[in-house]
Amino acid sequence: MSASIIVLVEHLKGNIPEISYEMLGAARKIADASGGKVYALIAGKGSSALASGLGAADVALVLEDSSADVMNDDILIEALKQAINEKQATLVLVGCTNISFGIGTRLALRIGMPFINWVKDIKTTEGEMVVTSALFGGKVLSDIALKDKKGILGILSGAFPPDAGKIAKQPAIEHIAKPEIKSKVKFRSLIEPKAGDIDISRMDVLVSVGRGIQSQDNIPLAEELANALGGAVSSSRPVVDQGWLPLTRQVGKSGMSVSPELYLALGISGAPEHYEGMKGAKLIVAINTDPKAPIFDFANYGAVVDCLEIIEPLKEEILKRKGTQ
């Protein structure tokens, strides 16, 4: 049975994130195997200009709205519902991001399709489609068979290669009307966090701290290590939530995306939300007391030890080799 697939393409300030290309590539592979079509739905300000670059899709469904830097979820859900009905789509892919996070669940309720979140793999055979969902921060992997190969999937960033979705051809463009619905939510403006003293996205070395740092009093230890390495301190979300570091130091889905030469993770478990922000690092070194922490699945090197026991000896060894001690 051929599959019509709709991919919700995200964009912000004229940029399409890698997760959208990952989903397009995954959809393209499924559609090619079944003889189906891929539809890329892109909405909001600047959508028309960006649609021509969605070459992995057969058709780009463009909902241009010059008044919205970020499209209202209510409008997106209604637009997706209409597109699913008109294109007879059996599969919908949305990203597990802070832009699309709540759309999958609400859309599933509206149209009666199953929704599976945290998807990191999709396997298809002639008889069935099985998706793998990473639960509890990736500690549990659950394989779920989709009945009739129908469903809405929340795709984890980094699950699929983005290059597969970057095909150098122009899709057919189909402009769609903005749904006439009454929404209690109205977009006013995009508020970005104020720049901090350090832009962690530009650093070549990051020493990133998580819950394992245990206390705000231990943050200076990480700063001393970062200084020895010629880098800066960043963190996972729990550290920022505790008020130990400002939001500008947070790495992850709700923070900054970074791509340093070295990412030294101290006491960070490696939840999918955090991985999304640091997956671009060239070298990842993880230190955690839990040998089953998800971060060890994608770290280049790792040590199962309390990070507080290793920070000082590591700093001293670095300074010794640099000849400053």
Interval 246-304: pLDDT, tens: 888 999 877 787 889 999 999 999 998 898 889 889 999 999 999 999 999 999 999 99
Kindly state the average pLDDT of the residues 145-167: 90
Give the Cα separation of 83 and 5 in Å (integer): 10
Q: Residue 159 pLDDT more than 90?
A: no
Per-residue pLDDT of 213-251, as tens digits, reads 999 999 999 999 999 999 999 999 999 999 999 888 999
Question: Could you tell me the two tokens for 111?
Answer: 């149209």
Using alpha carbons, select from 13, 308, 2 the residue that is nearest to residue 189. 13
Q: What value does the mean pLDDT of the chain take?
A: 90
User: Cβ atoms within 10 A of the Cβ of 149, count?
Assistant: 18
Residue 223 pLDDT: 96
Per-residue pLDDT of 79-129, as tens digits, reads 999 999 999 999 999 998 877 778 999 999 999 999 999 898 999 877 789
Cβ atoms 174, 62 nearer than 8 A: yes
Query: Given pLDDT bands bounded at 50, 70 and 90, which one contains residue 145?
Result: very high
Q: What percent of the chain has pLDDT over 90?
A: 68
Residue 195 pLDDT: 56
Using alpha carbons, select from 159, 115, 120, 146 the residue that is nearest to residue 21. 159
The pTM assigned to this predicted structure is 0.71
4-175 maps to CATH 3.40.50.620: yes
**Torsion sign, CA atoms 220, 222, 228, 229:** negative
Q: Which has the higher per-residue pLDDT, 153 or 276?
A: 153
Residue 139 pLDDT: 66
Residue type, 279: K
> Which 3-state string (H, E, C) describes the chain?
CCCEEEEEECCECCECCHHHHHHHHHHHHHHHHHCCEEEEEEEECCHHHHHCCCCCCCEEEEEECCCCCCCCHHHHHHHHHHHHHHHCCCEEEEECCCCCCCHHHHHHHHHCCCEEEEEEEEEECCCCEEEEEEEHHHCEEEEEEEHHHCEEEEECCCCCCHHHHCCCCCCEEEECCCCCCCCCCCCCCCCCCCCCCCCHHHCCEEEEECHHHCCHHHHHHHHHHHHHHCCEEEECHHHHHCCCCCHHHEECCCCECCCCCEEEEECCCCCHHHHHHHCCCCEEEEEECCCCCCHHHHCCEEEECCHHHHHHHHHHHHHHHHCCC
Start-to-end C-alpha separation, the chain: 68
Residues with Cβ within 8 Å of 244's Cβ and at least 6 positions away in sequence, in order, are 213, 216, 219, 235
Residue 248 pLDDT: 85
Give the Cα separation of 298 and 318 in Å (integer): 24
Q: Which CATH class is domain 200-322?
A: alpha beta
Query: Given pLDDT bands bounded at 50, 70 and 90, which one contains residue 164?
Result: very high
Residue 24 pLDDT: 98
Strand 301-304 to 205-209 pairing? unpaired
User: Cβ atoms within 10 A of the Cβ of 137, count?
Assistant: 17
Judge whether 4-175 and 200-322 match in fold.
Answer: yes
Domain ranges of the chain: 4-175, 200-322
Give the Cα-Cα-Cα angle 298, 196, 301 (nearest 5 degrees): 15
